[in-house]
Structure formats: structure tokens, C-alpha cells
């Protein structure tokens, strides 16, 4: 018996550019950018003061409404009935973290000593929305499993910038193994808060200029983004938008945050995905393209190693110039861009890219979208710790 094929039946997304994937896609097609000065809290003194933030999203776990909305859109497009077939849920998500106000309340309750005044914390109105479950990465996947009557595998992947792509890869594997017949999968991020802005800033990962310009000579770091992207995968080709033809995962085992300089780990993940798809070339690459000096250069090197002369026939772009780096959601959003190219022949430009660095010589899409027939696409996601996730999609 051959390996079960996996098809994309539905997609959904919520981003600062649009409350649905079609709205986001049209904005990306037009070269719009959602990066703005952060207004949700005072960013005076922070190493980066801009982000692509979701405004008006509140609650003890801001990930939840984003993931639920993206999942609802993807499920409606799939046309499937809840609970009719064995469904698995696979979500890329980092810790939900309580609100900043809750942390402030906790700090005040603890005071300057080592004890904690529970009564004082409980009476602080700003902390009433705090729920312990909100701090768990698994909360979103469990909520989606309940919403969609999932009786198959349920899994949360917390793998930094590769979380969403890793969740999709695990969904594909589960379907192939027969653990489920349908999978709801993707990633969600609601990380524009004081902790993440300060943390990434201290690592030196954020842009001091506050600009995301992947592969450009001016790039100096990424800009945080928020959003969610979900897909419904199925074994049935009826009504499919695209097919997942190959997956690849590797680990650099090199450094906690920096990629291995030769790009071999990333190239190996690409080769695994292309090998499964039985391809030596693709029409389009949705690059990880973070806008950090080292990561972009290493990815460009890995792409040249992998595709060699076939790279010239491809188009390359990164959605992070428009949406910022959505961390756990970024790999899933990248795959949606690849699926859009396959389904509609529209390749989005890399917003912010004006003058490609000589270390990043690739067939970039700059300035405006390109309309071209795309039958195969590669989507990359590379994370802290050297975790590499690559997915090849093609026509159904």
C-alpha cells in the first residue's frame, strides 16, 4: 500500500492586514505593510518601537480569538462536517503568558520580599482576567480539539519560529500514519508585549531602525508580528486547493540562537522535502527571510546549495517584510503564501526589499507582485536552536 496523499482543503488567517486570508492576501498582493509604532503600551526606551500588532484583541490569552477565527475560516472553506471523520489538531504556539497587567499585579503582591500576598493579588481588578491555563502553550490546541470534535491526535508544537511549520509537518505525518484522516493545523502568535519586545531586543534580534527588509543591505534585525494561520488537511482530493508533496525537518545542533554558518542544516531540510516530492526544482520559494543579517545570508546560501542552477527558474519572496516576524505563526503564514501562488498564480513581493545584499543574491520579487503559473512551491521556516522545517506544496 502506498503512502497516503495529503491535500489542503481549507485555509484561514487573521493578521493586522486583514481579518481573513483573502483580505490579507489582497493586501500582500498590493505590497501593503502592517508595521507601525507600537501604541498598545509605552515603548519609550525599548530597542525596537515598531511591530505588526493585532489591535483590539484582549483577554487573558490573546492567542485564542486569533486561532479560533483562523480555524473557523479554514474549516468553513473545507466544507467538512465536525466530528464526521477522525480529526487531529496540531498547533504551533509559544506560551500564552498572562497579560502585562497581571504580571504587574503579581509583582506588587509579592512586594520586595520573597513571600506572595495572594489576597492582595486577587483583589487587584487588573488581574481578574488572569487564568492559569492561559500560561500553557497547549490551551489553544485543546480548545480547537473541543470545538471541532477531534478524536484523533492533538498536539502542541513549541519550537520558536518553526512552530507553525512543525505543526503542519506533524499533521502530515499523522495522516500518513493513519492516526487521523483530517487535520486542523497551523500556528498562532500574540507576542507583541513588553516581555517579548525586551527579550528579543536584549538578544540583538530586533531591528533598531524598526524596519523589516528581508535580504536588503539595510537589514538590521526583525520586527515582531502577530496573527494566526490555519489549514485543514485531508486524504480526499475533492475540492482541494493544493497538495502537500514533501516535508523535511533537521537540526543544526550548532547554537542556541544562531544558524550554522554553512547553511548545511537548512539545505538538508530542503533536500528532504524536495526528495519526498521527487523534485529537483520549484517555481516559487516562500523564504523564511527574517531580515536579520546572518539568517538571511545563511538561507540564501542554503537555497543556492540546494537548488543550484534550478534556482534561476524560481521566484523568491518573504512575507515578513509586510507582516513582521509572527514567530509561532510564521511558518503557517508562509505556507499560505505558497498555496496562494499555486492556487491563483500570484507571487507576493518582499515588502521593504529595495537593494538586495550581495550575500543574498536570489531571484527576488520586489516592488510588485508577479503573476505567473506556479505548480510547485517550497516554504521554509528556521528557528532558534537550529530547527529547520521545510514543506513542498504542489497542485492537487
Instruction: Report pLDDT digits (tens) over 119-139.
Output: 665 555 444 445 555 667 888
SS3 for 161? helix
Q: How far apart are CA 292 and CA 294, in angstroms?
A: 6
- State the CATH class of domain 6-96+136-394: alpha beta
Q: What pLDDT does residue 127 have?
A: 47
Q: Report domain extents, the chain.
A: 6-96+136-394, 100-132
Q: What pLDDT does residue 132 have?
A: 57
Contact 285, 380 (CB under 8 A): yes
Contact 201, 191 (CB under 8 A): no
Alpha helices in the chain (DSSP H): 21-29, 63-78, 100-110, 118-122, 139-147, 163-177, 194-203, 264-277, 293-307, 320-323, 330-344
Contact 155, 90 (CB under 8 A): yes
pTM above 0.85, yes or no: yes
Q: Which residues of the chain fall below pLDDT 50?
A: 125-129
Q: What pLDDT does residue 137 have?
A: 80
Contact 85, 171 (CB under 8 A): no
What residues act catalytically?
Answer: 161, 288, 325
Amino acid at each position: 500500500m502506498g503512502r497516503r496523499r495529503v491535500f489542503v482543503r481549507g485555509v484561514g488567517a487573521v493578521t493586522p492586514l486583514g481579518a481573513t486570508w483573502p483580505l490579507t492576501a489582497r493586501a500582500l498582493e498590493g505590497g501593503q505593510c502592517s508595521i507601525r509604532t507600537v501604541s498598545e503600551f509605552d515603548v519609550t526606551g525599548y530597542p525596537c518601537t515598531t511591530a505588526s500588532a493585532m489591535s483590539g484583541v484582549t483577554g487573558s490569552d490573546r492567542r485564542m480569538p486569533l486561532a479560533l477565527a483562523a480555524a473557523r475560516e479554514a474549516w468553513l472553506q473545507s466544507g467538512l462536517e465536525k466530528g464526521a471523520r477522525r480529526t487531529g489538531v496540531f498547533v504551533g504556539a509559544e506560551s500564552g503568558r498572562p497579560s502585562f497587567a497581571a504580571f504587574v499585579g503579581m509583582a506588587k503582591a509579592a512586594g520586595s520580599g520573597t513571600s506572595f500576598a495572594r489576597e492582595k493579588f486577587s483583589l487587584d481588578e487588573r488581574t481578574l482576567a488572569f487564568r492559569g491555563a492561559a500560561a500553557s502553550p497547549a490551551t489553544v490546541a485543546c480548545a480547537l480539539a473541543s470545538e471541532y470534535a477531534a478524536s484523533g491526535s492533538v498536539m502542541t508544537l513549541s519550537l520558536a519560529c518553526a512552530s507553525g511549520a512543525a505543526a503542519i509537518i506533524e499533521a502530515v505525518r499523522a495522516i500518513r500514519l493513519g492516526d487521523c484522516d483530517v487535520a486542523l493545523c497551523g500556528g498562532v502568535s500574540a507576542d507583541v508585549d513588553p516581555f517579548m519586545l525586551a527579550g528579543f531586543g536584549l538578544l540583538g534580534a530586533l531591528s533598531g531602525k524598526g524596519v523589516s527588509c528581508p535580504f536588503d543591505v539595510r537589514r538590521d534585525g526583525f520586527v515582531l508580528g502577530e496573527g494566526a494561520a490555519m489549514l485543514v488537511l485531508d486524504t480526499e482530493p475533492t475540492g482541494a486547493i493544493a497538495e502537500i508533496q514533501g516535508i523535511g525537518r533537521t537540526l543544526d545542533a550548532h547554537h542556541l540562537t544562531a544558524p550554522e554558518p554553512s547553511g548545511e542544516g537548512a539545505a538538508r531540510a530542503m533536500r528532504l522535502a524536495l526528495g519526498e516530492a521527487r523534485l529537483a526544482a520549484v517555481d516559487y520559494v516562500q523564504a523564511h527571510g527574517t531580515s536579520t543579517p546572518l539568517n538571511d545570508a545563511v538561507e540564501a546560501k542554503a537555497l543556492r546549495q540546494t537548488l543550484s542552477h534550478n534556482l534561476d527558474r524560481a521566484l523568491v519572496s518573504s512575507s515578513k517584510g509586510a507582516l513582521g516576524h509572527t514567530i509561532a505563526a510564521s511558518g503557517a503564514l508562509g505556507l499560505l503564501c505558497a498555496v496562494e501562488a499555486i492556487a491563483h498564480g500570484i507571487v507576493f513581493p518582499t515588502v521593504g526589499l529595495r537593494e538586495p545584499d550581495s550575500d543574498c543574491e536570489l531571484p527576488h520579487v520586489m516592488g510588485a507582485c508577479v503573476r505567473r503559473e506556479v505548480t510547485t512551491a517550497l516554504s521554509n521556516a528556521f528557528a532558534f536552536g537550529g530547527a529547520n522545517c521545510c514543506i513542498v506544496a504542489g497542485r492537487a
